[in-house]
Structure 1
Amino acid sequence: MPAPETAADDDSVAARVRDLVATGPGTQRRFAADIGLAETKLSKALAGRRRFTAAELVAIADRTGVTVNWLLHGHDDARTHTAVPGGAARTESAANETRGTRARRRILDAAWELIAENGYHQVRTADVARACGTSPATIHYHFPSRSALLDEALRHNVKLAFDRQVAELGEVADAHERLLRLIDLQLPTSTLLRREWSIWIQVWAESAVDPARRSLYWDAYDRWYRSVAMTLEHGALAGVFVPDAEVLTRALTALIDGLGIQVMAGTPGATAEGMRATLREFIDRSVLRPGATPIDSTDSTDEKTHEKTEHA
């Protein structure tokens, strides 16, 4: 298994963010407000006097359209502890975006939120135009059909999860801890994550009846599947996990999907906390090698991860 690339030094990351601030629309103050960061903290990070946190990198990537991989490594397909999107689900860095691509991204952001909150079949082009302050004609220029909006919403989901995982998992050397964090980063515990789950569930439903959508769905899901498989393979090589990565990946991803749907559907007794407990119990029982010590479910590291995810 190829070793992950080493992230760039903090000065290189700061230089890339400085370029984004300088070439993007608005002022540095507006940029700071958009990513939920005090302007003084942004100034210190841009000057190299403080390090950008994982949550801040995710927010910057979301605001500008670049990937966290690009922020950390200078290119989108750097090898990390999480799989790079491929095929139809691949997302390109927007480091050199134009006014047109910025407009397209604003439309996508509005459409993604509306579809997640109200449902694909309830969202009209006029609703998206109203939400982002543009005309229906502009929406149709960038997205010829409503179906195209759902496809892009799925790609946006892939980018959000990819950015979050690259930012949070890059320095987690222990495979067991990394697997627990990887799962925690997918739990529907915040508004953002519940919206991601909503998009996924809607795409699953559409793919079941529309074969034309399946190729994109397969590519999108494959990125998540490979991320889990990579982590299980690494743990097996390290002697922490049992050596059945392919079988365990199928079982674990299926369990996550099923539990997540129950939580999102409001099934009585189904909660994100219960979902986490069930997944950890499965890992302790079926993934950890006999004799390995489970990580305490109350580990404060996980709580910090949840806080950063919530603010991202």
Structure 2
Amino acid sequence: MLHCFSFNPASPELSIGDDPLPHSSIEGVASSSIPSPTFNLSRELAYAFQTDSYREIRSRVDPTQHQLHIQPQPDNIELLLSQVLQPNKECVQEALSHAKPTTPTHLVSTYFQHSEDATRLCLNLYQSVHSARLLYTPLFDFFHILPGDSHAIDETLCNLAFDVFLKLDTFENPFSSPESDTFGETRLCFSQLKYKLDSRLRKSRSRVRLLHHATAGPLCSPYLPHSFKKKELTNISQLNVAARGTYVLDKDLDTIDRLVSRLQTGIEFDKHFIRLGLEKGRDVYSIQEIVKQLRKSHLNLTHQLKDLEDHICLWFTNVNEARSLLLQEIHLPQVSLR
């Protein structure tokens, strides 16, 4: 059974000077992207992680529920996408089916498609976080039995460490998958969409200004119907919400992209040291040095995995909020016509 959002008719007709803005945390994130004397990124993130919507997303993707621990095969990803992405694809398609096939409608439809594609990519990344933790589990378990001093490794621990290195050397870097290469393409899509949305917004605002001046003359009024102005104001409202959402989501993707890049580099760095250890054989001194290096990096890696997981869940929260805001704008004129 589909669960679509329902909205009450609201917002009186906009005046010529109005610039419709989404009233939500998405707007707050967009506004705070512009540096100000009072802006504090850590505080804003801490607040975002405490919202009800974020906690709801975390409950859906809680590892203890095993929802996102399915291998990321296409069929499974689509199932997970239907669980995470709201409003879902069916709700969006149903709403857009009542809209006329205009340029603004096409841009809005593209926005929904890009946000869906990017969420699918983030689901794959979420799977990669889990895969990375599984990959490192033998090493982390080994660290738990190590003495405080890495130089106190005896021959028994050396052999155990070597066996762990053999296991780790067989794994591929979870963040070197083909999916990671689509990040640049995804961000390019958002950048191009933002440009088109801004361009169409300027066009609609220019039309409304011209109509406003034209209708000021009584002889012109009959030839410039009020409905045309109302349609352009509706376009402005929808396009503006889509443009704000595109901006915010692109910034989120930028953060996720940088976190993924750091993890990919860090894991490759660890794999390099592990190969060096294997090349040296079961030499106690060499194993001691490799273990010492890996022990230094593992806490940083653990924090980076958590950061990426947190920001992916924040993406799920923001993308759902952005989609629901835009769908609300689409429903408003439809409701007024009933």
TM-score by length of 1: 0.29
- Structure in which a larger fraction of residues adopt helix: 2
TM-score by length of 2: 0.27
Q: Which has the higher contact order (CA 8 A, sep 6+)?
A: 2
Is the radius of gyration larger for structure 1 or structure 2? Answer: 2
